[in-house]
Amino acid sequence: MIIYVTGGVRSGKSRFAMDLALRKSASPVYVATSKIWDEDFAERVKRHRDERGPEWTSLESERDIHLLPLAGKVAVIDCVTLWLANLFAASEYDVEKSLAAFKTEVDALAAIDATLIIISNEIGMGVHAETAAGRKFTDLQGWANQYVAAAAQEAILMVSGLPLTLKSIS
């Protein structure tokens, strides 16, 4: 089962996803998809780590998330934006290759017997990207978000800390 949680920066996505995971499991898994790019980002990652208690198992993978030991687990995958940036860089900034690799991973994740809470950013709702590469990535992110949302059984949009249900298949 995939539960998709999206929204803008600081909309409450991670907190909501983590609370949901803890309601579904006494020992959830947190999958971090990010590289540590700079000191500011390292501090942000540390803050996220500190928020999680000892009940959490943490896994880190920049790509190939579907290869992690997630079967039978409740896992928060945080987040599509960073995961997609890793795929985008690995494909030498080719949108089609990046999207194809992402779709392959999502399809493989959907086949795992697990509850996967996948977090993503709605970057297309923000400022128009200044560079051509930024605009390509914004398009890529939008298409990737649509793909995960279509594969998900539930989709939630976070706005100002409030969850708005977009999709719920019972």
- Please compute the mean of the pLDDT values over residues 98-103 and round it to a whole number: 98
Q: Which of 48, 52, 66, 136 is catalytic?
A: 48
pTM, rounded to two decimals: 0.92
- Given this model, what pLDDT does residue 45 score? 75
- The total number of structural domains in the chain stands at 1
128 assigned to active site: no
Domain of 9, CATH number, reads 3.40.50.300
- Given this model, what pLDDT does residue 37 score? 74
Q: By CB neighbour count within 10 A (0-12 exposed, 13-18 middle, 19+ buried), where does 76 fall?
A: buried
Task: Return the closest-CA partner of residue 86 out of 153, 33, 30, 31.
Answer: 33
- Given this model, what pLDDT does residue 155 score? 97
